[in-house]
Every structure is written in C-alpha cells, then in structure tokens.
Amino acid sequence: MCGIVGYVGDKEALPILMDKLRMLTYRGYDSAGIAVSKNGHFYVRKCKGKVRDLEQIVDEDVGSGTIGIGHTRWATHGPPSTRNAHPHLDCTGHIAVVQNGIVENFWELKQELIEKGHTFQSDTDTEVIAHLVEEYYDDNLTTAVALAMQRMKGSMAVLVMHRDEEDRLVAAKMDSPPLIIGLGRGENHVASDIPALLHYTNKIYVLEDGEIATITRDSVIISNYKEPTKPDRRLYERKVIVVDWSPEVAQKGGYPHYMLKEIHEQPQTVLDTLRGRLPERPDAPIELPDLNVTPEEVAAVERLTFVACGTAYHACLVAKYAFEQALRIPVTVDIGSEYRYRQPIIGPNEWLVAVSQSGETADTIASMREGKERGARLLAITNVVGSSVARLADGVLYTRAGPEVAVASTKAFVGQLVGIFLLLLYMAQYRKVSRKTAKSLQALRAGLWKLPEQIERILNDDGHVKAIAEAIAAHPSAFFIGRNLDEPLAREGALKLKEISYIHAEGYPAGELKHGTLALLDEGVPVVALATQGAVYDKMVSNVQEVLARSAWAIGVVPEGDKRLTELLGEANVLTIPRNHDWLHTVTAAVHVQLIAYYAAAALGRDIDQPRNLAKSVTVE
C-alpha cells in the first residue's frame, strides 16, 4: 500500500530515488512522484500512472540535488490523479511530505487548518500532514513533525523534508506501515521495504511504532515523537540488522515476469527453509530455537489459532487439517480482518500463529495485538526478518523464500506450507502421538526433502499445464474443487487465477458443490479437480462425475500412476504430480495451480506482476 523512498548523501538523489521507486512499484502503482531539494528550491514532479510514467516527466533540471523523497501510490483518499499524487506541499511550498497509510482524523484536522487559512490542493489525507508541519514549524523540522504526529490518529509512515534544512529528512512511524532506514557510507536511505535498499546497503534500522528519525548523510537519530519537547534529545539504542538477501534476488533474472521467476525459485525456497532445521537423519531432533518455546510449553498447548490474510490464510487452512489430524490439537483459523472484531476467546495454553509473507499486513498485525491483549502466546511464520509481525511475536519461524516481488504470492506460499509442516514435526516431538501417526510423520519428514527435486520436475515439463491454462483463458469463469488438504488449495488456485487473469474463479470444497454452486456449471465450464489426498480420493471421483454429468470440463490434478480419474478424464485433461506423503501433494499441486494462473494471465496479456487494483503489501485495515 504505497511505497515511500528517501535519500540524503553526496550523490545525485534523482536516479537513486527512481531506482528505489521501481523496486517498490509492487506496493502501489496508480500514481507516482518525487521531490528533490537543491539550493533552497524543490523540484517536484508527479503524475497519474506508474513509475515508468514518472520517468517520462523527470527532466534534467531536477538533476543534481542530493536530497529527496519519492512515492508510488495505491489510492485510499482521492482517486488516482496528478493532484492526488505525492509528494504534497504546504502553503508556502517549503515542506514536502510523502506518506504510506491513513490519517484517520484527517477531515477534522483539515477543517481546523482551513479555518486557520491553509489552502488545500488535493483530496488526500496526506496533505494535512504538510500543513500541520507548516503550522508547527519553528526552525526545527524534527520538532514540527513530532508535534504533527501527536495530532494525528491512524496508521502511517511519513517522510518529510524542508527547503531550509537541506541536510536532513525526517521520518516517523505510527502503528503498522513499515519504514526502513538503510545505512550507507556518507549517505543514508529510506524505503518502505528492504528490496529497494539492497543496491545500496544491507545494513538497516527498522523504525518502530511511535518513533521519529532525523536522517542526515552521516547520522540517524531516533527518538520518540510523543515526547512533547526536544524529541531529538531522547535517543534510542538501535540494533543494526544485517540483511543476507543479495540484490540479484530482487531482479527478474531473464524471466519475463517476477511471478514466473518466483515460481521457479520454489525448489530453493524449500531447501533454504529446511536447511539447518530438519536433520536428514530421521532420529535426530528438530531444533527451532527462534520459536522461543520449551518442550514443556509445547506439551501443554491446548489450542492453536492461525491468523493471516489472502494466500497466507490458505496456508493456515492446510495447517488446520494437518495439525488436528496429527497432533489432535484443536485449531482455529481466522482471517486477519475478522479476528479482532469477533471478540475471540483465548484459552490458557493457546498459541496464536500469525502467517505473513511481508510481515507488514495491517490486519494480521492487528490480530496479533488483539491476541496478545487477550493473553495468547504469539508465534510468527514470516518471510521478512525484522518485519512488524516478527518483532511483535514471542517467537518466529522464518520462511526463507527471499524477496517476493510479484503481487501474486507463490514461493512465499510454498515456504509457508513447509514452515507449517516443520512446526508440526517440531511440536510432535514433545507430544503423545499414536504409532500410526508417528509412522506417517516419519514419511512426512523424509518427503519434505524430496520436494525440491519434485517441484523441479513439474517446472521442467510445463508444456501440458500451459496448454490447459491457455484453454482456460478462453472462458469467463472457472472452478477449483478439492477435499481435505486439497480444499484450501482449491481456494488458492481460484485466488491466483482471479488475481492475475481477472477470470472469475471460485475455490470450493468438492462435496459442497451440490449444495448450490453446481447450478453454475454448464457446457465446457472449466473445473480443476484436485484429487491428491488418498483418504478422500473415491469421494473426489464421485464429485468429478457430478461435474461431468453437467457437461462441464473437468481437469484432474492427481499423483503419478493414477488410474481411475485418468481413465475418466483422458490424459489430455490430467496434470500429474510426483508421489509423496499425501500432505506434501499440496506443495507440488500448488505449482500446477500457480502455473495455470500464470499462463492463463499471460495468454490474456495481463499485467501479471502488478494486477489492477492491488498492491503487494496491504498496510491498511
């Protein structure tokens, strides 16, 4: 939800700001803008459209200033337009502001400022920040921003500069939107997300809720904006985080889209997420020290609640099936935007597990806060070191997918599934399980190591799935059905297809079709039937029969060697996955549903990495 960037140093700010904005485009792409300061003058350029449209209008005279800020927008207040694009200026044109988030009391503040004589140029909430800072400015930008922050309510990351203080940027953060400060030599950087900084530095500070930072080329002073006076006196000791992602992993690397590249990185995601955690010797213990839990605490767990949004939510639904079947622990799964509003009941030995690629999803963070207040122990499965979700949690299991740039989540999902199975195996060590379950978990453990090669096989032979996807692209809607662990995967397949191809799709429990949705099936409607779970295979075959009886087009996803569905549908309508532990079929079948979405969207010429109306990291509730 909007990307903000800043630079202060001895180099020309413009190319650095543009480069960082390009890397953040996935956070929002309906308008973009920059402001560079030089010799007491602001050069502001902004437009409706993407960063590449901004490139067309940033001319040479913006050139040589060495301090500046930039923004790529996902509209909340005011439609996408040049006048609503950031940066926004105060009445005097001395103060420039970019923001990611929402100023919830902006209307009241705007009325107050208008009464005081301020004139507004846009419909945005952000512009009130510029005028508030103007109101409080008295030769100290940090103090003025601190006072402005104290007046605002909401959730925001803010970056401000002043023409008369050309050596500094002031950054502030309220609640969840991320703000990362990148530490360079003789220069410092700001960005909403780590990938934008990787070309310049791998040393970062992560700003916390309530903090304000004064950033010059040689120093970063972090303090608390709630301190009424002299905020820069109250310094915080801040640990420098060293990020081990290389700049190359955030590039397309020869693939036409980030999404395809990230689908192809999944074997590596699995390997990296397992390495050093799951010993290949079957009797060696699994250690997950970052979870910060003792064996006694694991043994005492009485209930687990998983909370997440979108694709991560689907991973949590897989967890429910697996944890309940193997560990006999009751599991609740909640959507982030619902959990905190349903007054959840938390039991004495309950863990709340938040799953999030970005670690910055506002609804997931809000659920964690709700859970904490009600006494849950917080665990996180996340991909971004130092993210808000990771910092809020009592313990973390990092998925090691590397930066995910495409808006459609793929490798992060596979990382989450692997993380969930790792957590399950880890907990099983300290809980009583039946002999049958113990045997199944041994197979699960061995099966995890087979996944990288199995995913590779699917990727190396994707002609068939491509042909099926291109045929699906000719239809206005499609269905994905499954049972047991295939049911969440059906939802994920539908989400992926909708998100990037704009084809209407529904993911449905296969047995539920006949309770209403079957009415939508007609001649040739594509129905992807995920039939990878042995225990419910017969039932799936019956559900596929129901689909065929309505003349719909059923496409099966089945383990290699399958006979009945293959005979029923014909090989041309069947996608196979290598055989493994049934639960791990969700991982390999996920690759097929991702490729269906990708190739269908490609056939339709969609903007695959940046689908309309969406943003990668959803930092508003």
Is 390 or 441 the residue whose CB approaches ligand M6R more closely?
A: 390
- Which three-class secondary structure state does DSSP give residue 113? helix
Q: Quickly count: other Cβ atoms within 10 Å of residue 286's Cβ.
A: 15
Please report whether residue 408 would count as binding ligand M6R according to CB under 6 A. Answer: yes
* Stretch of residues binding ligand M6R (CB under 6 A), selected from 84-92, 188-196, 246-254, 357-365: 357-365
* Stretch of residues binding ligand M6R (CB under 6 A), selected from 39-47, 220-228, 406-414, 537-545: 406-414
Asked whether the beta carbons of 181 and 22 are under 8 A apart, the reply is no
The residue within the footprint of ligand M6R, chosen from 76, 140, 176, 358 (CB under 6 A), is 358
2 belongs to the catalytic site: yes
Is 87 or 371 the residue whose CB approaches ligand M6R more closely?
A: 371
Please report whether residue 310 would count as binding ligand M6R according to CB under 6 A. Answer: yes
Asked whether the beta carbons of 5 and 17 are under 8 A apart, the reply is yes
Query: Could you tell me the CA-to-CA distances from 27 to 178, 407, 525, 610 in Å, in that order?
Result: 12, 8, 34, 9
Give the position of tokens 């909401």. 154
Please report whether residue 378 would count as binding ligand M6R according to CB under 6 A. Answer: no
* Stretch of residues binding ligand M6R (CB under 6 A), selected from 197-205, 355-363, 439-447, 556-564: 355-363
CB 485 → ligand M6R: shortest distance, Å?
18
Site for ligand M6R in 466-525 (CB under 6 A): 495, 499
CB 360 → ligand M6R: shortest distance, Å?
7
Please report whether residue 312 would count as binding ligand M6R according to CB under 6 A. Answer: yes
Please report whether residue 356 would count as binding ligand M6R according to CB under 6 A. Answer: yes
Please report whether residue 618 would count as binding ligand M6R according to CB under 6 A. Answer: yes
CB 407 → ligand M6R: shortest distance, Å?
5
Please report whether residue 176 would count as binding ligand M6R according to CB under 6 A. Answer: no
d(CA 393, CA 351): 11
What is the side-by-side order of every strand in the sheet holding 41-48? Answer: 41-48, 31-38, 67-73, 3-8, 188-191, 180-183, 203-206, 241-242
The residue within the footprint of ligand M6R, chosen from 51, 183, 309, 552 (CB under 6 A), is 309
**Active-site entry in 48, 110, 498, 616:** 616
CB 32 → ligand M6R: shortest distance, Å?
21
List the beta strands (DSSP E) in 248-314.
Answer: 303-308
The residue within the footprint of ligand M6R, chosen from 212, 250, 385, 407 (CB under 6 A), is 407
- Cβ burial of 440 (10 Å; 0-12, 13-18, 19+) is middle
Is 16 or 408 the residue whose CB approaches ligand M6R more closely?
A: 408
d(CA 353, CA 456): 30
Which has the closest alpha carbon to 36: 84, 118, 98?
98
Please report whether residue 100 would count as binding ligand M6R according to CB under 6 A. Answer: no
Please report whether residue 44 would count as binding ligand M6R according to CB under 6 A. Answer: no
Give the position of tokens 């420039």. 96
Asked whether the beta carbons of 41 and 28 are under 8 A apart, the reply is no
Q: Quickly count: other Cβ atoms within 10 Å of residue 502's Cβ.
A: 16
- Interface residues with ligand M6R (CB under 6 A) are 309-312, 356-358, 361, 364, 407-409, 495, 499, 617-618
Give catalytic residues, as residue numbers.
2, 616
